[in-house]
Structures are given as structure tokens and as C-alpha cells.
Amino acid sequence: MPELPEVEVTRRSFADAIAGATIAALVLGKPLRWPLGVEPQALVGQRVVAVRRRGKYLLLDLQDGLLLIHLGMSGSLRFASGLPQRGPHDHFDMETDRGTLRLHDPRRFGAVVWAASEEHPHARKLLAGLGVEPLGEDFDFAAFHAGLRASRMPIKQLLLAGRLVVGVGNIYTSEVLFLAGIRPTTRASSIGPQRARRLHGAIREVLAQAVQLGGSTLRDFSSADGSAGHFQLQAHVYGREGQPCRLCATPVRMLRQGQRSSYFCPRCQRP
């Protein structure tokens, strides 16, 4: 699943190119996770003002309203002129005078939803429950530590829930906890100030590095200009079950938490 770094990399790869473009046509394929919420023809003639990100959602600000795009489990965007003919897994084309923005989504868990504003019920339903942005100035340590102390959940599952801090998905949670030296099964409320400070810094460090490296391409992720990500090549524990820890050579272990795989080093990461 594309996680926050992949979504941010996607945003950066086409935001400048599409800003100021005028929508010429919208072509819809098979139904996605949620309906568009407006007649496609109603958006023709609208100008794209900017592209923002909130968690794993891309927000395309239009002259009137906005489009919220989620890549789901297997989605990716391309933005270019002269894209090839639409295939069976291409479910949304937004043709503009600067190129076509296309959502390719084999599993169709993605979505493109129109809302009049971020206060519109459609937008609030998707965005209201999201936690603080980990790469923004609002990611305050005191509030983060208070959130840890208030939760009895295992730290891995608390981070994945996205209510305390948004966008730290499965790949990056394993890497963050390794860098912080914390086992994924550790109860959040038991993490003291010193380890919480390391965890707070690790979230920023890992996600920033992932964005810099273009995200992670485990199967078929690519940014809107077709570039693959390379963070997975530098992962310390994710996907490395049985291989030696890059720091201490102890074999990396894997366990299941809530049907998700957690990777950790039993020596470097303490309960």
C-alpha cells in the first residue's frame, strides 16, 4: 500500500506541473471505493489551483471545491501528455490543457471524491479523524508523549491507527521502532520520556529519508513521473526476517500484529 512518503513523493512529482491547468474532460472507468460525488461535466473548465497532502490523501484544490484522491492498496498516479490508451485498470482520467492525470488501480480500493470544501461532509468524513502531520511544525513532542501515556495499545498498533500521528504505515513503523530501539509489542503507556523522545525523532527521520529516496517500491509503486522508490533497499528490518541485523548481526524476527507483519531485532529493540 502506498504510505505517506509515497503519497508525498507523488504530490511533488506533479504538483508544479499541474498547477494552473484547466480541466478539459473527466473520464471515469470502473467504480472505485467511493463515488466521485459530482457529475464529471460539472468540473470541466475548472482550474487546478494547487496540490496538497493530508495524511495519505492528495487534495487537488480547484477554483470551486477540491478533489480528494486516495491511492488505496495498489493505486498510482501518472501525469503526462500523450499517455497511452486507457487500460482495464485505469479508472480515472482528468484531461487538462497541460496533460492528463490518470489513476491506475488494479484492486480498485482507491478513490477520487469531490467536495465543496474541507468542511463538506464528504471531506470531513475522510479527514476529520486524522492525527497530526509528522513532518510538520505541529508535531509537538509534549502532545505526542501525552498520547503515548494515555494508550494501553502496543506501540506498533497505536502508530498504525493514525489518530496520534498520521501516515506512519507498516513499512515505516517497523523502521521507526528499530531506530528508536523499541519492540513493536511494547505497551505505549510504558514508554518513558527518553525513549519517547527517540521515537518522536525517529518518526521524523525515517519519513524524511523515505521521501528523499522516492518512497518504497515493493511491487509496482511509481511517482506521477514514472520514477521508482529506493527506500526499501536501505531498510534495517522490514522484509528481512531471518537475515542478520545490520547493527548487531542477530537474525531479524517477524511477528503478526493485527494481521500485519512486524519486523524487529530482538537484541537492538527492548520491550
How far apart (Å, rounded) are the C-alpha atoms in residues 66 and 69? 10
Binding residue positions: 89, 107
Binding residue positions for DNA: 89, 107
**Active-site residue, selected from the candidate residues 3, 6, 95, 175:** 3
For 159, the grid coordinates are: 502508530
Task: Find residue 260's DSSP bridge partners.
Answer: 257
**Active-site residue, selected from the candidate residues 11, 56, 78, 108:** 56
**Active-site residue, selected from the candidate residues 2, 134, 154, 184:** 2
Catalytic residue list contains 125: no
> Cell 527517540 appears where?
198
Catalytic residue list contains 56: yes
How far apart (Å, rounded) are the C-alpha atoms in residues 53 and 224? 14
Q: In terms of Cα–Cα distance, which of 235, 241, 270 is closest to 255?
A: 241
Catalytic residue list contains 256: no
**Active-site residue, selected from the candidate residues 197, 198, 260, 266:** 260
For 171, the grid coordinates are: 513499512
How far apart (Å, rounded) are the C-alpha atoms in residues 36 and 26? 11
Residues noted as catalytic = 2-3, 56, 260
